């Protein structure tokens, strides 16, 4: 069974640009969560999607957004990038919102 895949694996952007990250969950999983991981802040919850609906959102500015498609694949978008957005962005999928989550390899975003 294929695991969670994330693309791209690495990204370098400059301040002010926008970026879109993609996540394909494990087959049959309907819930996708996104996290930002930095050395100083650890794993911070961004948002969770279930059945194409955002069910919860973490404490991040509106520049961070996401969506989920009917095949459960998800994308997150960050607009007007800031230096502080440099981080590892992790996607995790689960059967449902309260189930075990399985992480993808992450997308390493560097903002210059």
Residues of this chain that interact with other proteins (CB under 8 A) are 33, 35, 42-43, 45, 48, 50, 55-56, 58, 90, 92, 97-106
Question: Cβ(41)–Cβ(19) under 8 Å?
Answer: no
For residues 27 and 95, the answer to whether their CB atoms sit within 8 Å is no
Which of 62/98 has CB closer to other proteins? 98
User: Closest approach of Cβ 100 to other proteins, in Å?
Assistant: 5
Instruction: Compare residues 18 and 86 and give the one whose CB is closer to other proteins.
Output: 86
Query: Whole-number minimum distance, CB 50 to other proteins, in Å?
Result: 7
Strands (E), 42-101: 42-50, 53-57, 64-68, 74-78, 87-94
Residue 16 Cβ vs other proteins, minimum distance, rounded to whole Å? 28
Measured between alpha carbons, how far is 96 from 78 in angstroms, rounded to an integer?
Answer: 25
């Amino acid at each position: 069974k294929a695991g969670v895949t994330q693309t791209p694996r690495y990204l370098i952007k400059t301040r002010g640009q926008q970026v879109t990250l993609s996540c394909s969950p494990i087959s049959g999983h309907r819930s996708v969560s996104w996290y930002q991981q930095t050395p100083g802040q650890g794993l911070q919850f961004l948002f969770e999607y279930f059945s194409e609906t955002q069910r919860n959102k973490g404490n991040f500015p509106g520049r961070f957004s996401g969506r989920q498609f009917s095949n459960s694949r998800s994308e997150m978008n960050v607009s007007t990038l800031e230096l502080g957005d440099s981080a590892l962005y992790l996607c995790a999928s689960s059967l449902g919102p309260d189930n075990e989550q399985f992480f993808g390899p992450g997308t390493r975003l560097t903002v210059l």
